[in-house]
Amino acid sequence: MVSEKICNLAKKFGAIWHRINFKIIMANKRNLKKAIRFACGDMAGECIFAENTIEGTDVAAWDQIILDIALLQEEAVNRVSVSFDKVPRDFENKKDYNKARRTYFKAVEKALAEYMHTETEQIVAAMNALLPKGKK
């Protein structure tokens, strides 16, 4: 059961990041930060559970993965805390300002989603690599 949970973790977290509607959440950075903390906490919890229940695994390697998850969480939350560096008077009219601002935040949302997806896949691959051959 534990191995099934960990093997399916990549699908689970991949689905989470694809389901998150960044446009709605980026409107409220606090909710996006909560979603990031929840997902990273869930991954770390799975690591702790596997570390304590599966015999014959490398505890130091599990601890390193947990540390990687913590660093991922910190970096992702820092990437959410961005602001548009221009003001309306830098543009000819309000419409141009709003267009540039939307374009900027759309690029930030896309970069954050790609970053979280690739990092999560790497962490889950490392988690699956630590499982004994018979547990996979």
* DSSP string for 44-86: HHHHHHHHHHSTTS-HHHHHHHHHHHHHHHHHHHHHH------
Q: Taking residues 86-111, what's their average pLDDT?
A: 93
Q: What is the pLDDT of residue 60?
A: 94
pLDDT: which is higher, 45 or 57: 45
User: What is the share, in percent, of the chain residues with pLDDT greater than 70?
Assistant: 78
Is residue 96 pLDDT above 80, yes or no?
A: yes
Domain ranges of the chain: 2-135
Q: What is the pLDDT of residue 57?
A: 86
CA–CA separation, 52 vs 2, rounded Å?
11
124 three-class SS: helix
Q: Taking residues 103-130, what's their average pLDDT?
A: 92
